[in-house]
């Protein structure tokens, strides 16, 4: 694994880890995968784990920290900007294409959770990405507008935007920036399973990392997330082969089924039976099934 940095179009510097196949030849030509991490995560967690497993199967894989997060640049820190994150995926492709031992015509993208939505949006208009996989897909804009289960009325998010507007005004007048928690800091037995699992994954020894600090800039992030839709124009613009991997028990499954129903390209939906959202991040029983299918998919469409 090699630690690297590379720029975005608007000159933020992103930090990434490049995972290389064992015994790879610098004079060789390899297929490559850009791996986008979940919201609130960093490259050292699930994205890095998937990147390393893909490298074991002969791919060069780049896991990178999103703008404003982890070791990547951008101010204010901890902002969740969907538009910047889509551009981050394109910047990762830029970097992979710059490597002599990457075949520029054989680059794919893999996005996890919110990173899945961002990877979908980037792939729609970046045809350098030849194949796309999502894992535990999450559309941040839809969640903001429609709620965790997609059942909230469209008007429910207006109150949040009003709160964000008041907070931004206060901050512009000197108030301290409000940093909201990304996942619940406390959970009980009646909490949604995926949220209990998120707490365990990010806030315990299971996968806790000092660069994933479980916070985001509320006012500025909310105004950017509210109008974002990862699937806008997906019926018309997504033409690349698509593999959607989701847990059969995930409360976020509806994002994956919505994408599957709308996409018109060569597509496949893999339901990993018994898995919830976070199980696909690192639980071997479920993750191994996902990795095997993903490696086969990228081999078919990037190697041939």
Q: What is the DSSP string of 198-239?
A: HHHHHHSTTT--TT--S-EEHHHHHHHHTT--TTTTHHHH--
Q: Which residues contact 236 (CB under 8 A, 6 or more apart)?
A: none
Q: Residue 94 is part of a domain; what is its CATH number? A: 3.40.50.1820
Q: Decide: helix, strand or coil at residue 25.
A: coil
pLDDT at 155: 66
| Contact in structure between 249 and 193 (CB atoms under 8 Å) | yes
Q: Decide: helix, strand or coil at residue 283.
A: coil
155 class by beta-carbon count within 10 Å (0-12 exposed, 13-18 middle, 19+ buried): exposed
Q: Which residues of the chain have pLDDT under 50?
A: none
Owning domain of residue 285: 2-303
How many Å apart are CA 29 and CA 32, to the nearest integer?
A: 10
| Contact in structure between 26 and 41 (CB atoms under 8 Å) | no
How many Å apart are CA 208 and CA 74, to the nearest integer?
A: 22
Closest by CA to 243, choosing from 301, 302, 297, 280, is: 297
Phi, psi of 248 (to 5 degrees): -65, -25
How many Å apart are CA 52 and CA 7, to the nearest integer?
A: 23
How many Å apart are CA 68 and CA 42, to the nearest integer?
A: 11
Could you count the other beta carbons within 10 Å of the beta carbon of residue 77? 15
pLDDT tens for 253-273 read 999 999 999 999 999 999 999
Whole-number Cα distances in Å, 82 to 14, 53, 196, 302: 15, 27, 25, 27
Q: pTM surpassing 0.85?
A: yes
Q: Decide: helix, strand or coil at residue 64.
A: strand
Please state the domain count of the chain: 1
| Contact in structure between 263 and 240 (CB atoms under 8 Å) | no
């Amino acid at each position: 694994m090699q630690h690297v940095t590379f720029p975005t179009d608007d000159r933020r510097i992103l930090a990434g880890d490049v995972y290389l196949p064992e015994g790879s030849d610098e004079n060789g030509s390899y297929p490559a995968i850009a791996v986008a991490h979940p919201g609130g995560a960093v490259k050292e967690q699930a994205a890095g784990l998937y990147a390393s497993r893909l490298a074991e199967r002969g791919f060069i894989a780049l896991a990178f920290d999103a703008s404003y997060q982890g070791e990547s640049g951008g101010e204010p820190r901890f902002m969740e900007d969907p538009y910047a994150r889509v551009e981050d995926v394109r910047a990762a492709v830029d970097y992979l294409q710059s490597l002599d031992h990457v075949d520029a015509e054989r680059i794919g993208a893999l996005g996890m959770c919110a990173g899945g939505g961002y990877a979908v949006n980037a792939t729609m208009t970046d045809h350098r990405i030849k194949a796309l996989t999502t894992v535990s897909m999450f559309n941040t804009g839809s969640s903001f507008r429609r709620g965790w289960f997609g059942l909230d009325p469209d008007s429910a998010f207006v109150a949040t935007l009003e709160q964000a507007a008041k907070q931004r005004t206060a901050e512009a007048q000197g108030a301290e920036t409000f940093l909201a928690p990304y996942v619940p800091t406390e959970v009980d037995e009646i909490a949604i399973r995926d949220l209990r699992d998120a707490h365990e994954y990010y806030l315990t020894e299971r996968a806790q990392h000092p660069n994933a600090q479980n916070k985001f800039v509320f006012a500025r992030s909310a105004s950017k997330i509210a109008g974002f839709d990862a699937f806008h124009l997906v019926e018309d613009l997504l033409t690349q082969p698509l593999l959607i991997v989701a847990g059969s028990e995930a409360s976020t499954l509806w994002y994956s089924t919505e994408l599957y129903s709308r996409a018109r390209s060569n597509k496949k939906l893999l339901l990993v039976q018994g898995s919830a959202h976070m199980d696909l991040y690192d639980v071997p029983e479920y993750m191994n099934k996902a990795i095997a299918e993903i490696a086969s998919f990228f081999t078919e469409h990037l190697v041939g």
